Structure 1
Amino acid sequence: MFRPAGLALILLTTSAAWGGELPRYNIEATCRAAPTLAGTTGNTDQNCIRDETQARSQLGQQWSGFDARRRNECVQEASLAGTPSYVALLTCLQM
């Protein structure tokens, strides 16, 4: 079941997708919420931020080329875990 804040986030990002705008996600919050792999060390957060930033840049270039219905579906899917991800959104759109 969705919490009110989660529902509001989905509604805001979904309306942006239908409106033709790339959703705005908090990359730092996404990376803080990302699970770390067992045994990994080093700069996992920096790698996550780099990956999310690169995915956002790529989405910015390709966003208008994706079908609006598909964008909406993928925005919802990328937001299901509560912390939306540009990497998840890009992956969904490319599938």
Structure 2
Amino acid sequence: MKIALLSMAMIGSQLVTPVSDRVPQLNVEATCKATVATDKAMGLDLAQSFDDCMRDENAAQQQLTTVWLANSTELRNRCEGEATAGGNDSYVDLLICMQMADWVKSPSSGPRLKGASKNRNN
């Protein structure tokens, strides 16, 4: 009996993917419903529809599947915490957090902006 349980435990442990190795499951439906209700209560002329919100969240979730493992566990945990703060789960927020961290690590090599020069009119 003990051997059978040990064998099953060993087999089962190989099938389990650590939580941090996959994009978390977020309740974005509740967030989208709350966003629509807030927009309606505020009387916004260009309020986001539930369908548009869900489309954005699903697109962000798909993008996350390609970048999730390319980032450190520490960053994934930090961004997940930010994306779920206050009970407003959002794949869009999670993706933006990870993209911002990536940008900070390697800012674009575009031209640097220059401020006003003391010698401009000389």
| TM-score category of the 2 structures, normalised to the smaller one | 0.7 to 0.9
Cα distance in 1 between the residues matched to 2:55 and 2:28 = 9
Q: Report the Cα offset of residue 53 of structure 1.
A: 0.2
Letter of the structure 1 residue corresponding to residue 91 of structure 2: Y
Which residue of the partner structure matches residue 32 of structure 2?
31
Q: Report the Cα offset of residue 73 of structure 1.
A: 0.3
Q: Report the Cα offset of residue 27 of structure 1.
A: 2.4
Superposed structure 1 runs of 4+ greater than 2 Å apart: none
Which residue of the partner structure matches residue 22 of structure 2?
21
Q: Higher Cα Rg: structure 1 or 2?
A: 2
Q: Cα deviation per residue 1:40-75 (whole Å; 9 max; x = unaligned)?
A: 25x611110000000000001111111110010000
Q: Report the Cα offset of residue 81 of structure 1.
A: 2.4
Cα distance in 1 between the residues matched to 2:56 and 2:86 = 18
Identical pairs, percent: 37
Cα distance in 2 between the residues matched to 1:81 and 1:26 = 12
TM-score normalized by the length of structure 1: 0.73
Query: Which structure has more RCO (C-alpha within 8 Å, separation ≥ 6)?
Result: 1
Which residue of the partner structure matches residue 51 of structure 1?
56
Q: Report the Cα offset of residue 20 of structure 1.
A: 1.4
TM-score normalized by the length of structure 2: 0.58
Correspondence for 1:40 among 46, 58, 62: 46
Q: Report the Cα offset of residue 76 of structure 1.
A: 0.4
Which residue of the partner structure matches residue 92 of structure 1?
97
Q: Report the Cα offset of residue 30 of structure 1.
A: 1.8
5+ residue gaps, structure 1? 1-14
Letter of the structure 2 residue corresponding to residue 40 of structure 1: L
